[in-house]
Amino acid sequence: MIRRFPVVLQLSLLVVAWINSQVIAGLTVDEQLEQLRINYIKMEQILAAKDSRLKSLELKVQHQGILEAQMIRLETEVNQMKAQAIRAQEPRLLTAQQQSRSNSNATSLRQGTTQLPKSCVDLKIMGHTLSGMFLIKGVKTVETVFCDFTLAATDPNFQTWIGYADIKSSPDSFHAQRVGLYDAVNTVVPYNLIRLNIGNDLNPLTGVFVAPKAGRYYFAFTGLGWATYVKVQLQMKVGSADWIKIGEAHGAAWNTMALQSTLQLAKGDQIRLVHLLGVIHDADGNNFSDFVGFLLEEDVFGC
C-alpha cells in the first residue's frame, strides 16, 4: 500500500532523501524512500501517542478544577453547619443589631444549587475571578455582597454582606382622587380622577386594588368631610378569606380624615376603601381627596 504524503511533506521528504542519499551509501533511491516512509509512520505513531497523553493530562486538569470547586462547596457547607449549631445555642431574642449581624453571617454562608448565584462561592464556581460588588439571590430579595476573590473561600472576609438591593420585577404605584360629592354609604369608594396608575392594579370603577406580587405595600387616604361627620375604612382581603378592617378614619364637618398603612401582601390580595358615614367632600372639583399606594419592597424570590 503506497501512503499519500501531503505536497509540502513530499518536498521536504525529497530534500531529506537527497541529504540521506549523500549519507546512506549503498542504498538505492527506492530503498531510501521506503526507509523514509517507515520513519514517517513511526513518527506519526509517536505523535498520536503524545496527543493522547496530552488529552488525558487536559482531562486531569479539568477534573482537578471540579474537585477544587467541590471542596469549596464542602468547606462552605461545614461552615454553614457550624454557624447553624452556634445559632441554635443563641438565646431566642436578639437585639436588632445582633439580628442583622447574624443574618448577614447566614447570608455569607448561603450557597446555592440553582443557576442564580447565592454567594461569592457560587460566583467563584461560575468563573468570576475579579473581586468586586455583586448581586446575589437572597431568600426573598436580591442582595449585594463584596467578594474578595484574592482570599480563600473559607476566609471570613471572602464575602462581605453589603445590604438588600431594592429590585422590583416591575414598578407599582397609584394616585386616585374623587371629583364631586360622594354620599353612597356602605359602598366601596370609586375614583374618577386618576393621576397615576402604574401597573393598572387599582380599578378606578370598583375602587379595588389587587396586589400584582408579594411584598410590602404602602397605602394612604386623606379626605375632607362635607357638612356632617364622615367615616371611611381601609379594608384588606387575603386570599379567599372575608374582607377585614385595617384602619378607620373619622372627620368632623369640613375637617380632614386620614389613614395610612404599610402591609405585607401576597399576590392577589386586595385593598379597598369603604365609605361608612357622611359625605366625602369635593363639591367644586377642588381635589380634596387622595388615595395613594405603592409597592415598597418586592419579594422577588420564593413567593
Ligand X SMILES: *[C@@H]1O[C@H](CO)[C@@H](O)[C@H](O)[C@H]1NC(C)=O
* H or E element in which residue 260 lies: strand 256-265
Q: By CB under 6 A, which span of 21-29, 97-105, 249-257, 267-275 interacts with ligand X?
A: 97-105
Q: Is 81 in the site for ligand X (CB under 6 A)?
A: no
C-alpha gyration radius of the chain:
37
Comparing CA positions, the residue from 170, 192, 190, 257 lying closest to residue 221 is 257
User: H helices within the chain, ranges in order?
Assistant: 7-23, 29-89, 96-109, 120-126
3-state SS of 199-258 is CCCEECCCCEEECCCCEEEEEEEEEEECCCCEEEEEEEECCCCCCEEEEEEEECCCCEEE
Yes or no: say if 174 and 217 are a contact pair by the CB < 8 Å rule.
no
Q: Is 102 in the site for ligand X (CB under 6 A)?
A: yes
Q: Which is nearer to ligand X, 102 or 131 (CB)?
A: 102
Q: Is 286 in the site for ligand X (CB under 6 A)?
A: yes
Q: By CB under 6 A, which span of 183-191, 215-223, 225-233, 280-288 interacts with ligand X?
A: 280-288
Cell numbers given for 128: 468570576
The site string for ligand X over 131-170 (x = CB under 6 A, - otherwise) reads: -------------------------x--------------
Q: Is 285 in the site for ligand X (CB under 6 A)?
A: yes
Minimum CB distance to ligand X, residue 189 (Å): 17
Yes or no: say if 164 and 143 are a contact pair by the CB < 8 Å rule.
yes
Q: Which is nearer to ligand X, 72 or 295 (CB)?
A: 72
Q: Is 302 in the site for ligand X (CB under 6 A)?
A: no
Pairing of strands 270-277, 230-237: antiparallel
Q: By CB under 6 A, which span of 39-47, 50-58, 100-108, 262-270 interacts with ligand X?
A: 100-108
Yes or no: say if 221 and 289 are a contact pair by the CB < 8 Å rule.
yes
Minimum CB distance to ligand X, residue 157 (Å): 8
For the segment 179-198, give every residue that binds ligand X (CB under 6 A).
193
The site string for ligand X over 32-71 (x = CB under 6 A, - otherwise) reads: ----------------------------------------
Specify burial of residue 275 (Cβ count, 10 A radius: 0-12, 13-18, 19+). Answer: buried
Binding residue for ligand X, selected from 29, 86, 181, 283, defined by CB under 6 A: 86
Size, binding site for ligand X by CB under 6 A: 10
Q: By CB under 6 A, which span of 7-15, 99-107, 142-150, 258-266 interacts with ligand X?
A: 99-107
Q: Which is nearer to ligand X, 50 or 101 (CB)?
A: 101
Beta bridge partners of 272: 235
The vertex-111 CA angle with 106 and 116, nearest 5°, equals 125
Q: Which is nearer to ligand X, 36 or 151 (CB)?
A: 151
How remote is the C-alpha of 56 from its chain's centroid? 38
Q: How far is CA 129 from CA 68, 148, 187, 214, in A?
A: 15, 9, 61, 35
Q: Which is nearer to ligand X, 154 or 206 (CB)?
A: 154
Binding site for ligand X (CB under 6 A): 83, 86, 101-102, 105, 156, 193, 285-287
